[in-house]
Amino acid sequence: MLDSEPPRTETPVDVARIYAEFVHGLTFEKLPSAVVETTKTLILDQIGVMLLGSAAAGVGELLATVRDWGGKPESSVLVHGAGAVTIAHMMPPAIRDPVVRSPTSPSSCASCTERRGAGAQGGHDLIFAADRRHMQAPCARPRAGSLALPLVLRTPMFEYFPNNYPWSLAVMSALNRGGQISEIDEACRPLKEVAGRKNDPVAQIAWFESWMKLAERVERLGLIDEQANHPLSAGRKLMRAGLYYLLAERMPSHKDPRRMIAYKRGVATYAKGLKLRREPVERVEIPYGEHTLPAFFMKAPVPGRAPCIVHFDGFDVTKEIIYASVGEEYRRRGISLLIVDHPGVGEALRLQNLPSIPETEKPAAAAVDYLETRDDVDKDRIGMVALSLGGYYAPRAAAFEKRFKCCVAWGAIYDFGAAFAARINGTNEPSVPGFAEHAQWVFGKKTLEEAMAVTRQMTLEKVAANITCPLLIVHGENDRQIPLWHAEKTYEAAVNSPGRELKIFSLADGGAEHCGADNNSLIVDYITDWVAEKLGASVAGV
């Protein structure tokens, strides 16, 4: 304020009352959700500046509003005593979090533990949106100095289809693995009108056809490059087309014969792209009883024997999708990589009808047996990583296969039976449409009850204590498929793992969605650096 400027007579409280009364009376049913949330944030930011430290008139109306929703991290709502309110503007998280954090004690009962697992904590990352899912535990008790609000997480993942999590997850998979955003938009734009029909077979076929159309166009452009003797350009397009074919294949029922056509075309197109790009990838077949497990082997660019990671997939991904995500980062650190289509996924399931089993140490042991036959692998420096359902697969394998020198659960699953039941009941998000039918396919069962019986065997409760190698558990605090408590329980149970580590990726920093779907690179960087340290490879690069 300049010295010559007359003193102001109006008070911010009057303006705050106008804001609060106006906002409290709004209805949002007919507005786009993005407009609603942006408006809420802007209004609360302004109220926060005006009411910082104030408990005067207008606070009552504001409290009525913030019981339903709140602002972004820079304007978290704090409540002190009976009626006084402040809005913390850029308050340090260490001060703000204990006040804003969930009003429920996370250890008070099983329901609250599940709620904590669902991510209802970390106050500077919460948004209280009336149009989102409330997470209110039945035993909630207000903490001293806090307001018992129905808490809902702000969701940081870019959601092309806000009303369809599996489709948005697939879009992020494409973006994280080299897909071009304009091409992805080309496939997705025609699907917006049907995206709300989540389990409608007609909607899934619409997805399939739109992504197939895109994949075919990109493949055609790659073949034109190949004919022009431009193999690197051709290879890049063909790898991208292969990815699009595999994402097209992801949505329809496995009983649809067109799905197998798309899968085979995706695998072949991706393989041709790898060859034209001269990627350091060798296709191998791992002996597994009367069958083989198809895999990619990537030799580290170092002389002699190198450390190696066995990488399993998960519930619904393939070796191609894994390679597009992690291959280059292991290679740069001097670590070889064996990505396996193990029972229950990829070629093992689709072409050999090999279902998943709880005893994942069996296919994992077959992978180590194969690596020990190679003269370019150091058999004393072999580790294992797996993502998503691999959060069970990898720790289970490491508990019984003692040749692994380290293990990474990329997204924890302590009890898949509990996680599976939660998805079937609609508590947690499914990774693919038709989740129950997909599970019957993965586990080779004719009924949902039979599939659930298998999932109930997939627990680390009596297994994790057998892990005697270093174990890293990475998990997102906003994982909407697998609650956070799975990571915490895995860590607590792995009592004999030397130097075990639990890394939780926060909403504030990113990587907080399932297996880092919102920012895959953050997760991959952390895992590959950790593996390099444990296996004596080069964190600085080779």
Q: Are 113 and 99 in contact (CB under 8 A)?
A: no
82 pLDDT above the threshold of 70: no
pLDDT in tens, 273-331: 999 999 999 999 999 999 999 999 999 999 999 999 999 999 999 999 999 999 899 99
Give the mean model confidence (pLDDT) for residues 494-518.
Answer: 93
Give the mean model confidence (pLDDT) for residues 388-398.
Answer: 97
Of 61, 51, 67, nearest in space to 142 by CA? 67
**Amino acid 62: pLDDT:** 52
**Amino acid 156: pLDDT:** 67
Choice between 252 and 118, residue whose per-residue pLDDT is larger = 252
pLDDT in tens, 298-314: 999 999 999 999 999 99
The dihedral region occupied by 229, where left means phi > 0, alpha psi between -120 and 50, and beta the remainder, is left
509 pLDDT above the threshold of 70: yes
Choice between 48 and 410, residue whose per-residue pLDDT is larger = 410
| pTM of the model as a whole | 0.73
Tokens 């790659």 belong to which residue? 222
**Amino acid 48: pLDDT:** 54
Question: pLDDT tier at 163 (50, 70, 90 boundaries)?
Answer: confident
Choice between 82 and 168, residue whose per-residue pLDDT is larger = 168
Report which residue type is found at 352: Q
Q: Are 59 and 85 in contact (CB under 8 A)?
A: yes
* Residue 268 neighbours by CB under 8 Å, 6+ apart: 242
57 pLDDT above the threshold of 70: no
- Kindly state the percentage of the chain with pLDDT values over 70: 71
Question: pLDDT tier at 198 (50, 70, 90 boundaries)?
Answer: confident
Q: What are phi and psi of 339, to 5 degrees?
A: -100, 120
Mean pLDDT score of the chain, rounded to an integer? 80
Q: Where are the alpha helices (DSSP H) in 407-501?
A: 416-424, 435-442, 448-455, 485-493
246 pLDDT above the threshold of 80: yes
